[in-house]
Amino acid sequence: MQENLISILTPFKNTAEFLPECLDSVINQSIDNWELIIIDDHSTDNSHSVVSNYANKDSRIKLFTNEGNGILDALRLAFKKSEGNFITRMDSDDIMIPNKLETLVENLEKFGKGYVAVGKVKYFSNIGISDGYSKYERWLNKLTETGTNYSEIYKECVIPSPCWMMHREDLITCDAFNPDLYPEDYDLTFRFYKHSMACIPCDEILHLWRDYSTRTSRTHEHYAQNYFLEIKLKYFLELDYDSNRPLVIWGAGFKGKTIAKLLLDNQVPFHWICDNPKKIGKSIYDQLMLPFSFLETISSPQSIITVASPKAQKEIRLYFKNLNMFPVKDYFFFC
């Protein structure tokens, strides 16, 4: 391990079109004490030769071929080959703002171990950014500005996979890239949360996140919604569920039904409420659908919220605030 060296871990596969911009943005960082451990995950285009040309000109760029298959095997190899005291990720189709590494490492040096440095992100695309991605960007950056990322961890991934940095020892404490769980970035975020790696507030955009039609998060089965719900519930039951308190599911749409089925599979008892008069009083999965008024009959519940409407979520937050109940303790938004 080399003190003050930043190891950037970057898997790539068939991103030849974007690699020059990515690599140039790394080379043009405001500090130069970095190494780029870049892993070819069996590309079939000319990505390997693009990176090889850069590596031949800059010894800090260290190119390897994945010994296994997929992003997790590539990340494990990259981490194994890395020598830095500071570890960060980078996606091969994205762009670093020039002061990204400097800002992240300065924040880590200021706060010390037990923290993860994060930065704000901005999506870009030559075909425009969808409303969904724009909302995600605003939501994520708002959390990052205050370092309150974990307060909504069960909604979406609250730490962008290519815009974090932490001490090597802390990443090892969190079991690095060893678990075979997808989405791998969300799983790692939950492990940061599990090990109380506090997020350092940051109000700067440090990373440009490229969106395009063949991007992995748009096309791979591991990023399908059912995987998100499974990983959310796995960590909820492990980290935040209190079996001494009654558990309540809010909502009976697709997400509510999926969560209910997963809870039944895990033999976790729960009550189920909704506001649909056509469902109230009937049973789904042999579970009686109850009206919201049922909440008045139980003491100190924990609630999983699967209601997606922003207006309804605002009303739900106010409801819990009036009861002096708190997010990621008493209630958990799963959407």
Per-residue pLDDT tens digits for 93-121: 999 999 999 999 999 999 999 999 999 99
55-100: per-residue pLDDT in tens?
Answer: 999 999 999 999 999 999 999 999 999 999 999 999 999 999 999 9
**Taking the domains of the chain in order of start, what are their residue ranges?**
2-223, 240-333
Kind and range of the H or E run holding 310: helix 310-322
Contact 236, 270 (CB under 8 A): no
CATH topology of domain 240-333: Rossmann fold (3.40.50)
Report the pLDDT value the prediction gives residue 219, as an integer from 0 to 100: 45
DSSP string, 161-186: TTSEEEEHHHHHHTTTT-S--SSHHH
Q: Indicate if the pLDDT at residue 323 is higher than 50.
A: yes
For residue 19, is pLDDT > 70? yes
Across all residues in the chain, what is the average pLDDT? 94
Please state which architecture CATH assigns to domain 2-223: Alpha-Beta Complex (3.90)
Distance CA 217, CA 186 (A): 12
Residues 125-181: tens digit of each pLDDT: 877 778 888 999 999 999 999 999 999 999 999 999 999 999 999 999 999 999 999
**Rounded to an integer, what distance in angstroms lies between the CA atom of residue 171 and that of residue 86?**
9
Q: For 209, phi and psi rounded to 5 degrees?
A: -105, 115
**pLDDT band at 223, cuts 50/70/90?**
very low
Name the nearest CA neighbour of 146 among 199, 205, 88, 101.
199
> Does the pLDDT value for residue 224 go beyond 60?
no
The whole-number average pLDDT for the span 301-323 is 94
Q: Residue 89 has which token pair?
A: 């990720």
Whole-model pTM: value is: 0.94
Of residues 275 and 227, more confidence is placed in 275
Confidence check: pLDDT of 222 > 60: no
Look at residue 2 in the predicted model and tell me its pLDDT.
84
Buried b (16+ CB within 10 A) or exposed e, 136-171: bbeebbebbeebebbbbbbbbbbbbbbbbbbbbebb
pLDDT, position 214: 58
Contacts with 287 (C-beta within 8 Å, 6 or more apart), sequence order = 260, 264, 270, 272
